[in-house]
Amino acid sequence: MTLNIVLLGGNGYIGRELTRQWHAQDAEAEFWVLSRSGKNQLDLPVIHNYAVDVTDQAAVEAVLPTQVDYIVDLVGRPEKDAELSKQINDAPAMVMQALAEERQICAIGFIGGKLGPKAFLATKQRLIDQLSTSKIPLAYVEPTVVYGADRDDQIAKMVPLLRFAGLFAKNIRPVEVSVVAKKLLDSLLVAGMCTDAKR
C-alpha cells in the first residue's frame, strides 16, 4: 500500500531535502506538505501542498487523507517572547502528537537542536521529552547548524567559520542538510516499521 506522509512546515530546506530523499526511496509515497504559504519548490505529482495553520489541529485534520502513516514536525525557530515561542514551537508538536495518537500512525519525526539560544534549545529538548512519552515511536535528530541545499541566510554565510571552529569544538560543527535528512529518514523508517498490519 502507498504510504501517506504529512510534513508540518515541510517546504523549508530540510523538509524539501527529506521529501527528495524519501521520494527517491519510495516513488509511490504521497506527501502532504502543510505550511503557511502552501507553496513548495518541489514539483512532483505525489506532493500535495496546503496553506494551513499547523498550530490548529482542526485545520490540519481538514486537509489530511483518511490514512496517515508518518507525521514530521519541521516547524521551529527561536523567539524571545515565551508565548510566541509556545505558539510557534510547541503547538505544531502537540498537534502532531495528538493526530498521531488518534490515528495510531507508524511514527512521528522531529528536529531538535544542539546549537542556538539556550531558551530555544531547552524548548526543543522539552518537546523531545514530551513526544517521547507517546506510544507512537519518535524519530528525531539534533543537528548543530544545518547548511546546504538552498539555504541562503546570515547563518549559512557563517558556515566556513563554523567549520573551522568545529575542528576544535564538535558541538558547533555544521552539518549538511542531506546528512540531517538522511539520518531523520532512516530513523523514521526504523522507528515506524510501517507494515500493512499496523495500518
Mean pLDDT over 66-75 rounds to: 96
Residue 153 lies in a domain: no
Domain that holds residue 78: 4-145+177-198
What's the CATH code of the domain at 19? 3.40.50.720
Domain count of the fold of the chain: 1
Residue 115: pLDDT band with limits 50, 70, 90: confident
Least Cα distance to 7 among 70, 78, 90 occurs for 70
Note whether residue 130 is domain-resident.
yes
Evaluate whether 128 touches 138 at the Cβ level (below 8 Å). Answer: yes
Overall pTM surpassing 0.85 (yes/no): yes
C-beta neighbour count of 154 within 10 angstroms: 6
CA–chain centroid gap for 76, Å, is 9
Q: What's the pLDDT band for 158 if we cut at 50, 70, 90?
A: low
Question: Which three three-digit cell numbers place residue 42?
Answer: 518541489
**pLDDT at residue 50 tops 60:** yes
How far apart CA 143 and CA 35 sit, in angstroms, is 22
Lookup result for grid cell 530540510: 14
Task: Tell whether 152 is covered by a domain.
Answer: no
